[in-house]
Amino acid sequence: MRSKISKEWASDLELVIAANDKILPTYVARNKEARKVKDKKDTKDKTKDSGKDLSFDERKVGDVSRDFNFGQRSTQSFDREAVYYINNHPSFNDNDASPLRASSFDLLFLLSMQEAIHRILKSYFEAGKEKDVSLAWLKSFYKDGVEKYFDGNQSFGRADDFMDDLLNTPPALKTFGNKVGK
């Protein structure tokens, strides 16, 4: 069984990379769409006040549907390809796949997210004073979310939930000692 799962993980790493490569482009696209919808709504509200009515598509921006919700949030700020792969990729529906295929893929995705965070924290630490504020902020954000995202038996998609919350955290200034940064 270990051999089978390790072979699956070796091929699944390509899917992890593909899913990660889509996070920022889809996040940017959704934000652009959100701005367009907001601008249209603001225009409609202004025009409505003047007695005119504009019609346009007022769909919820950031609301994902791809006809699945496999333990996922209903409002998401990027396309969650990992869960899409679990439900639709041929490798997961193969008769030769291990019975734990979906769970082990989700665990691989989560572990790769956690390893990436650790590497970023290490690089910030090694950068010294230049990254003190970023290190303090990310370390705090990660520490506050460890139990929620990375510990225990929870639903699929926790790595995506972490990334979603990270992307939706508004920029802020942080004081670290006598240093202020963002």
- pLDDT tens-digit readout, 28-52: 888 888 888 776 766 665 555 555 4
Distance between CA atoms of residues 13 and 99, nearest Å? 18
CB-based contact 157:71 (threshold 8 Å): yes
Q: CA-CA distance, 84 to 105, in Å (whole number)?
A: 12
Domain that holds residue 62: 2-181
> Is a pLDDT exceeding 90 seen at residue 104?
no
Looking at the structure of the chain, the number of domains it has is 1
d(CA 85, CA 102): 9
Supply 78's token pair.
């990027």
Structure tokens at 6: 């390790």
What global pTM score does this model have? 0.66
Distance (Å, whole) CA 70 – CA 64? 12
pLDDT in tens, 129-157: 888 888 988 999 999 999 999 998 877 88
